[in-house]
Amino acid sequence: MNNKPGIFKRIFTAIWRVITFSRALIVNLVFFILLFAFIAVLSGSEEHITVPEKTALVLNLKGDVVEQKRQIDPMEAFLSEAMEQQEENPEILLSDIIEVIKKAKSDARVHILVMQLHGLNRTGLNKLQDIATAIEDFKTSGKKVIALGDQFSQDQYYLASTAHDIWLNPQGFMLLDGYSRYQTYFKSALEKLSINQHIFRVGTFKSAVEPFIRDDMSKAAKEANELWLNDLWSQYKDDVAKRRNFSVNNFDEDIDVLIKKFTEADGSFAHYALNNEWVDQLLSRQEMRNELIKLVGLNKKGDSYSSIGYKNYLTATNSPLAVNIEDNTELTIASTDKVAIIVAKGNILDGKQKSGTIGGDSTAQLLRKARNNDNVKAVVLRVDSPGGSAFASEIISQEVELLKQAGKPVVASMGTYAASGGYWISAPADLIYASPATITGSIGIFGMMMTFEDSLSKLGVYTDGVGTTDLSGFGPTQALTPGMAKLFQLSVNRGYQEFIQLVAKNRNMTEQQVDAVAQGRVWSGRKAKELGLVDELGNLDDAVLAAATLAELVEYDTLLVEKEQSPRSKILQQFFGQSASFMALLTGDFNEDTLALGITANSLTNTGNTQPLTQLMSKMKAELTQLNQFNDPQGRYTLCLACGVN
């Protein structure tokens, strides 16, 4: 008995030694990884990225194309990459894609442009149009553009249609199904759960709250959605048909016509695409490699064609050691006059928000920063937002007005969305530019709350008490009184009137004229111009030129005004950014993004292979999470939930 304490002590001592050793081992491993990474930073690891003398630039896009990336902790990103964990929702900057294509046009080392688009997720048509414009400009250099893949989704094919040749795997898949807008509706489910929803809105077409008060889409919403969806689909067909040199009637919208053609192709999607002139050749992956080897030669390993992925190309050409790819270019002194570009991307929320989301305070601060910068002579507000908080939208709008009062012209440039709150913050601009495919308008406002008194009563939970006023104790566990409901509706009515007045004042329209095209109705950018809600159709470059013209600038530079990183974040960003490249060198995966036609099963998830139930649950979760984020202090929202495209 007396030996038991000694035995336990020896056991626990041994266990503790194992734990101590394991802890020391892990710490040392992390230390040496960071040490190697630090050495890589000091030695300038970018110099290892070189552009081959005769090569293909591979435009292998993975993820969502965005105007501004959401903020991610640098250390977290580094550890994910080091552990070979795929980013859940990767994002690609639109500006990076366009910059790469522009540089490659005049780079003698780049002989062809290859598009591998299997990783590209759904992207707004306006962004696709901007990339397509850059590719068309690239083609004026006389260099060949080839699109290849095992399958093409509708968005992927839009870009592929810009190529001289489109190659599809003989076992590949391709089908263009048009644009649609379908939503999940919760009214009956909420009733079964005895959850009482209280809706306050203005606008016949303000359908943002319909999923909570209906089990189907209203006739008004169908009418409005069908109009702008048909406009976008018409633009898609016109663009593709022109590039592929066939009729817009070649889009098989009738199921009987499609089945007839599919039967003639013996049930093969690939042969259907070839017969329908969607693609030029059906080639296996190895046959594709062989054809590309003929054009640019072998890579260093000798197992595929010479290539460099767009990420590595961007790094190599941005490096201080990069070769100047412009012929006979003279160095010029940067102009002190600036046209500032401020990106407003994402939902509009109150307060300060991270990059990738619009914050009333944080975005207003960026506008104020541009106003206080003496070198900034004009501002372009790049808006890519379906809206959100009415209060936050107004805070941003006020800063736009202050810029104008300071004598600095403001041009709003609309991206994929500039609807509801996105239009609110655009309206005060001196000029509004939109893409023909921009989804805009949705001038309306709503408030919504749910109360759970009936749900709780079924569980035997009740709320009761006393207060000094009719307002005391109001909350989600009590029934909404008629008086409080009237109070909220009056507030929403006021918000709508303020929205109408804002637009009328800045668009040189009467309130009646604005109301006629408002009521929450959504428009395409092309239709919005006809209605006077937009001044010109064009992209970001057009908006920058217009801003410079308004400011009477002859020589100027652009200045991207972003949220400043803390010193810690800057150090981590640089440190772990360099470290990631070094880790790739150590693992022999340095050129992973050149993609020698290697396509994994995971890359197919964006084409509809995810389990339907998982997709449905993810969609419902995303919609409810989005609503839960909204934090307007008055509970008033100008949001276009109907703006999503399927």
CA–CA distance, 257 with 262 (Å, rounded to integer): 9
Nearest to 71 by CA among 629, 418, 563, 583: 563
* Total Cβ atoms within 10 A of residue 1: 4
C-beta separation of 250 from 276 below 8 A: yes
Q: Report the chain (646 residues): mean pLDDT per 10 consecutive residues.
A: 58 68 66 59 57 93 89 55 61 94 95 95 92 97 96 96 97 93 87 85 72 88 91 96 95 92 95 96 96 94 92 81 40 72 93 87 95 96 94 96 97 95 96 96 87 88 87 84 89 92 95 93 95 96 97 94 64 48 41 41 40 61 62 77 72
Write the single-letter amino acid at 19. I
Residue 563 counted as domain residue? no
Asked if residue 456 and residue 311 are part of one domain, the reply reads no
User: How many domains are there within the chain?
Assistant: 3
Asked if residue 271 and residue 145 are part of one domain, the reply reads yes
| Domain interval for residue 27 | 4-43
Structure tokens at 272: 């259907």
Residue 319 counted as domain residue? yes
Residue 566 counted as domain residue? no
Q: What is the separation, in whole angstroms, between the first and last Cα of the chain?
A: 74
Asked if residue 161 and residue 50 are part of one domain, the reply reads yes
206 is catalytic: yes
CA–CA distance, 510 with 620 (Å, rounded to integer): 40
Residue 561 counted as domain residue? no
- The predicted model scores a pTM of 0.81
Read off the pLDDT of residues 10-21 as tens digits, 9 standing for 90 and up. 666 666 676 776
Residue 590 counted as domain residue? yes
C-beta separation of 270 from 171 below 8 A: yes
Residue 560 counted as domain residue? no
Asked if residue 481 and residue 400 are part of one domain, the reply reads yes
Asked if residue 527 and residue 621 are part of one domain, the reply reads yes
Read off the pLDDT of residues 410-454 as tens digits, 9 standing for 90 and up. 999 999 999 999 999 999 999 999 999 999 999 988 888 888 888
Asked if residue 37 and residue 75 are part of one domain, the reply reads no
Set 420, 426, 579, 581: catalytic member: 420
Residue 564 counted as domain residue? no
| CA 277 to chain CA mean position, Å | 31
Cβ neighbors of 499 (< 8 A, separation 6 or more) are 390, 424, 443, 444, 445, 518, 638
Structure tokens at 436: 């023909």
Q: How far is CA 521 from CA 222, 507, 610, in A?
A: 11, 17, 33
Asked if residue 486 and residue 459 are part of one domain, the reply reads yes
Sign of the C-alpha dihedral, residues 236, 443, 358, 534? positive
> What CATH number does the domain containing 216 carry?
3.90.226.10
Residue 562 counted as domain residue? no
CA–CA distance, 342 with 383 (Å, rounded to integer): 9
Asked if residue 147 and residue 28 are part of one domain, the reply reads no
pLDDT number for residue 446: 85
pLDDT number for residue 134: 97
Asked if residue 291 and residue 185 are part of one domain, the reply reads no
Cβ neighbors of 437 (< 8 A, separation 6 or more) are 124, 125, 126, 129, 232, 235, 416, 524, 525, 526
Query: What element of type H or E holds 364?
Result: helix 360-372
pLDDT number for residue 158: 97
Asked if residue 460 and residue 340 are part of one domain, the reply reads yes
pLDDT number for residue 330: 38
Asked if residue 12 and residue 87 are part of one domain, the reply reads no
Strand pairing of 431-434 and 410-419?
parallel
Asked if residue 451 and residue 596 are part of one domain, the reply reads no
307 is catalytic: no
Set 62, 127, 206, 408: catalytic member: 206
The CB-based long-range contact list for 621-625 (8 Å cut-off, 24+ gap) reads: 623/184, 623/211
